[in-house]
Amino acid sequence: MSKAFTKEDDGTENVHLDDLPQSPHPNLVTPSGLAALNGRLGARQSDLAKLREKAEEIDRKLAIAVAQRDIRFLEARISRAILVDPKSHSPGIVAFGAEIEVITEDDSHQSFRIVGEDEADPTHGLIAPYSPLGVALMGAQIGDTVEWQKPTGIVDLEIVAIRYE
């Protein structure tokens, strides 16, 4: 029987995964955020090169497809990046890149920094400008009280300091 009529895997077909979705928001990045994106891209490119050298691994095709998809995603994020120098903003007004210190209703102090979506990590106080907290803080000034809409209800935060580093 001709090979054309069999479904044998000869190892030559590629796996293609659909692209990961991109955010609809402008891709604002801090200098450290852009460096991190470039670092992630370099690491995935290195991973891909190593995968291509390991012909004997069973899951190689899928791993290569995942790495290629991740590389396409990161290249798109970098090509859409809008580098914002936090030091270029007017002091005293919350904008992208600001570190904001607030006092909560129970008089506890918390700090947040508004960073790009790829750099955001709420557990470390790094928030995206499009998050509910980021939206509440953007444009606020020292002494303002903003309302943060959380799933558990509204929390009032008083802005006590704004820094740009």
The 10s digit of each residue's pLDDT in 91-135 is: 889 999 999 999 998 999 999 999 999 999 999 999 999 999 999
51 touches 70 (CB < 8 A): no
Residue 10 pLDDT level (bands cut at 50, 70, 90): very low
Burial readout 17-33 (b: 16 or more C-beta within 10 A, e: otherwise): eeeeeeeeeebbbbeeb
Does the pTM exceed 0.75? yes
